[in-house]
Structure 1
């Protein structure tokens, strides 16, 4: 298992994207949160910081950053997309606490090998996969929480 240091989110937009006050505000929030958060959570944090950014703009910005590979996304058990700044540029997966949303990035290598072996054993060629592991972190277990 590897945990990597935080990577910098893009400050410059790609061609065709404008650098706006709203985009910079969303990026700043992402740089300061460690757990996966919903677009609504990020919008709430912006509002709490007196940043006027519409929820639609938050969604659009998060989608653009995800498309660029600048942020991680995952879907919780209700299907909601959650976002977080990538801590590494390497392929990785996540251990996610179902109570506090604490996240640990883990090396993707063993999962890659398992996915390739499983696909091959069933006559498939592996073209892609998603793998996230959900459970309770040690801190939540110590507090007696049992949300799953």
Structure 2
């Protein structure tokens, strides 16, 4: 996966480029606060408000996935641009993109059964990855 600027994004700034590169190196979803702290620790001069603004633009452009925790906190991850779902470790946040026709078929079946049209969906499967599992 390229770490350069993403197609379809707004003005490319140094801060935006650093944030995109950090997201590309990340294996799991990360909070805006964590991304901000990591950027600052890496010597990037950036404000937390700027991190939020860039992330929102990337989400709106479809370049970054966002997941909302039950607490309301949002987590972000740069993902592929094709439709997919996530398998997420609840301990370390390692994330694997998954696809499958069964989920798509089930979604359309449920929607049809209840008379819904123009349906979209997201699916996050939470578990414990092999590295975090007790031996």
TM-score by length of 2: 0.88
Counterpart CA distance in 1 for 2:89 and 2:67 is 13
Aligned to 1:33: 26
**Is the contact between residue 9 and residue 85 of structure 1 (CA under 8 Å) also seen in structure 2?**
no
Instruction: Tell me, yes or no, if the aligned pair for 1:96 and 1:135 is still in contact at 8 Å.
Output: yes
CA 1:13/1:60 → structure 2, altered by over 3 Å: closer, same or farther?
farther
- Map of 1:142 onto structure 2: 134
Deviation at 1:8, TM superposition (A): 3.0
Aligned pairs for 1:1-148 within 5 A: 7-8=1-2, 11=5, 14=8, 17-86=10-79, 88-142=80-134
Using CA pairs under 8 Å that are at least 6 residues apart, name the structure with larger relative contact order, 1 or 2: 1
Aligned residues: 135
Structure 2: segments with no counterpart, 5+ residues:
none
Q: For the structure 1 residues 10 and 63, does the alpha-carbon distance in structure 2 shift closer, same or farther, using more than 3 Å as the test? A: farther
Instruction: Provide the rounded CA distance (Å) in 2 between the counterparts of 1:38 and 1:44.
Output: 10
SS at match of 1:95: strand
Taking only aligned residues, the RMSD between alpha carbons, in angstroms, comes to 1.9
Any idea what the Cα deviations from partners look like across 1:36-76, whole Å, max 9, x if unmatched?
10000100001100111100100110111111111222112
Most deviating of 28-37 and 120-129: 120-129
TM-score calculated relative to the size of structure 1? 0.81
State the distance in 2 between where 1:80 and 1:91 align. Answer: 23
Unaligned ranges ≥5, structure 1: 1-6, 144-148
